[in-house]
Amino acid sequence: MSNLQMPSMGLGTFRLSGSQLTQAIHHALDLGFRHIDTAQIYDNEAEVGQAIADSSIKREDIFITTKVWIDNLHPDKFMASVEKSLEKLQTDYVDLLLIHWPSPKDKVAMKDYMTELNNCKFKGMTRAIGVSNFTPQLLEQAFACIGKESIEINQVEVHPYFQNQHLVNYCQTNGVDVVGYMPLGNKQILDDDVLKALATKYDKSVAQIALAWQMQQNIATIPASTSKEHLQENLEASELRLTPEDMAAIAKLDTGQRLIDPEFAPNW
């Protein structure tokens, strides 16, 4: 990745809560994960913060990402919402703060919320800033607001069935690192014959093949796993290298159909 020094493998916490979330974080940190991804809308920042506080790993050794929800984009709410996130996470700063989604129908001007995001960095509330679910056109607007060099990450949907190649290429060409969410395609890819054949070839799981494919394209990945076995497998996927032929075979699986497309999503 860039000078951000973000681990390419992280633990996603979307849809995780309670003891399941706490156990997942403890297992992940014990195994060597040092990247935890959460968001205001996940309603689990406090649990994430407590699990990290209860671990033996120093705060500065853990890369924490959170995201500002669309209801908090207005300048009247933005900074206070981030302060609340830091309070819940029991930390003075996060390593990466993202705009979760662009403001629906430009209800809040991008200049306003990107400026607030940048101000959070100036105030030491986050070490780096970025966006999520931004198209190339929206990224161009964001660059114009606060400067291309300020935006380090775009977190977007990426998996073998939705490879988002145009956006990934655009980001990487413009110096914006990509974090891919939903890397296992909501488990839809696990029964794919091409991926199963590759899993057999390498004596790995289908999930490991998908994660290795993603990281081999310099895309960080944040699968949400809870079992210690699966978490260990995810880490081991970092060591797997697929051949150009394998990568080409996976490239043919792209359906162009995204799984995450809420009514407030931008015009893709």
H/E element holding 81? helix 78-89
Q: Is 42 a catalytic residue?
A: yes
* Angstrom distance (rounded) from CA 43 to CA 14: 9
Residue 108 DSSP code: S
The CA-atom distances, in angstroms, between 90 and each of 8, 22, 97, 254 are: 24, 15, 15, 40
Which has the closest alpha carbon to 115: 73, 81, 80?
73
Contact call for residues 38 and 13 (beta carbons, < 8 A) = yes
Q: Do the annotations mark residue 100 as ligand-binding?
A: yes
The CA-atom distances, in angstroms, between 64 and each of 91, 93, 130, 140 are: 10, 9, 13, 26
Q: How many DSSP H helices and E strands does the chain contain?
A: 10, 8
Residue 55 DSSP code: S
Please enumerate in sequence order all residues whose Cβ is within 8 A of that of 223, keeping only pairs 6 or more positions apart, or say none.
Answer: 11, 12, 183, 184, 207, 211, 234
The catalytic residue positions are 42
User: Which residues belong to the annotated binding site for substrate?
Assistant: 100
Annotated binding-site residues read 100
